[in-house]
């Protein structure tokens, strides 16, 4: 069986689809990952065979702006490598491709933010491409795989096949401090994911946040892109900063402070780590609200500071609350257990095999 996986956006999209793609490859199927040029290195870092379809990174909500270029690139690819099934994510362009090829289409995302309205708009904007290909309508996905734990799914979310979250990120040479806990002190991880250089904290500073945390006796790690380490490292003293494999270091942490990325949040949930989330967009806010609503995190809205408090003080107070109150860790472990009970990518792959064989 040939499976075509498609991704756009940030490296997180590659990491999110990698476990299912790897399961398919391990089962003996042929796979290709169609990706934007900025994501090719991330695909290679997790062992996925990838082909570039566009030179620039696509953002969710830009289907109408890039649909013709992306669709033509995918059609050209499939003239010489025809898949039996297409797997897509937030973009609906792969769905158009699957309809044109008359093969099953699987949508594979973490559905935590309400997307029905944006999805309807995106499908409407793709109408010219449907007409160009002689298609009268865009059929619904044959399968919707949702990586979101059932307890966090928003009300009214579409029916989905739940799948277990399996962390997958680019690796590097490991050192003992990455996979061992420090003795006699808490460990706090700070990260802005792969999309940003560093956490954006209006009216605040990373140095102050680090100082507040180390003043409690905690060890601070900053997982960041290499260019962020080069830019911010000199002002942070002996704090470890750089590319740290999140799946390796997460189980050694007592708290993580981050931007609200779905991949980051689920990797931390998987490891049972409480979170303080400062969302940097609407989707991140939906993630933060869901995890905080379960009791496994606190959310700090950086654009609505609390009266009489600076952002630094609010963040520091939130960190102290999580580290001193075991309830957050307990709720996170409950969520981690739920996630661990879901079907693995290898199990869900059987459903893809059945679709392709039908």
Residue reference for tokens 């980051």? 264
Cα 257 to Cα 250: distance, rounded to the nearest angstrom:
12
> What pLDDT score was predicted for residue 128?
83
Cα 42 to Cα 351: distance, rounded to the nearest angstrom:
27
* CATH tag for 2-164+342-357 (out of 3.30.930.10, 3.40.30.10, 3.10.28.10, 3.40.50.2000): 3.40.50.2000
> What pLDDT score was predicted for residue 63?
57
> What pLDDT score was predicted for residue 90?
84
Query: Is-above-0.85 flag for pTM?
Result: yes
Tell me the average confidence (pLDDT) per consecutive run of 10 residues in the chain, 358 residues long.
Answer: 92 93 97 94 95 78 69 94 95 91 94 70 79 84 94 87 93 93 93 67 64 86 82 78 92 94 92 93 88 95 68 84 96 96 97 94
What DSSP element (H or E) covers 31?
A: strand 30-36
> What pLDDT score was predicted for residue 203?
45
Cα 162 to Cα 94: distance, rounded to the nearest angstrom:
21
> Under a CB-based contact definition with an 8 Å cutoff, are residues 288 and 279 in contact?
yes
Cα 286 to Cα 154: distance, rounded to the nearest angstrom:
9
> What pLDDT score was predicted for residue 62?
55
| Beta partners for residue 52, in sequence order | 35
C-alpha 320: how far from chain center: 27
Please, where in the chain does CATH 3.40.50.2000 lie? 2-164+342-357, 176-340
* CATH tag for 176-340 (out of 3.40.50.2000, 3.30.420.40, 2.60.40.10, 3.30.70.920): 3.40.50.2000
Cα 255 to Cα 298: distance, rounded to the nearest angstrom:
11
């Amino acid at each position: 069986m040939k499976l075509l996986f498609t991704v756009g956006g940030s490296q997180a999209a590659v990491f999110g689809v990698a476990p299912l793609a790897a399961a398919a490859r391990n089962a003996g199927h042929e796979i290709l990952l169609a990706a934007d040029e900025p994501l090719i290195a991330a695909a290679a870092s997790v062992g996925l065979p990838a082909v570039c379809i566009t030179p620039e990174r696509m953002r969710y909500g830009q289907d109408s702006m890039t649909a013709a270029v992306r669709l033509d690139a995918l059609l050209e690819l499939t003239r010489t490598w025809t898949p039996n099934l297409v797997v897509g994510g937030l973009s609906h362009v792969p769905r158009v491709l699957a309809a044109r090829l008359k093969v099953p289409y699987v949508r594979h995302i973490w559905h935590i933010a309400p997307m029905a309205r944006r999805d309807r708009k995106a499908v409407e904007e793709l109408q010219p491409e449907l007409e160009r290909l002689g298609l009268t309508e865009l059929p619904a996905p044959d399968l919707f795989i949702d990586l979101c734990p059932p307890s966090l799914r928003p009300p009214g979310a579409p029916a989905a096949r739940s799948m277990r979250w399996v962390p997958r990120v680019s690796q590097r040479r490991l050192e003992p401090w990455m996979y061992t806990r420090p003795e006699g002190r808490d460990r706090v991880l700070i990260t802005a994911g792969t999309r940003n250089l560093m956490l954006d904290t209006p009216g605040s500073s990373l140095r102050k946040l680090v100082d507040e945390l180390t003043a409690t006796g905690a060890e601070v790690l900053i997982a960041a892109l290499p260019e962020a380490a080069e830019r911010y490292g000199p002002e942070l003293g002996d704090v470890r900063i750089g590319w740290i494999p999140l799946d390796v270091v997460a189980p050694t942490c007592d708290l993580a402070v981050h931007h609200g990325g779905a991949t980051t949040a689920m990797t931390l949930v998987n490891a049972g780590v409480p979170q303080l989330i400062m969302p940097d967009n609407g989707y991140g806010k939906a993630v933060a609200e869901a995890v905080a609503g379960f009791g496994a995190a606190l959310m700090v809205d950086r654009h609505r500071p609390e009266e009489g408090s600076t952002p630094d003080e609010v963040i520091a107070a939130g960190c102290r609350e999580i580290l001193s109150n075991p309830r957050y860790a307990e709720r996170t472990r409950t969520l981690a257990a739920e996630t661990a009970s879901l079907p693995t990518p290898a199990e869900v792959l059987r459903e893809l095999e059945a679709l392709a064989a039908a």
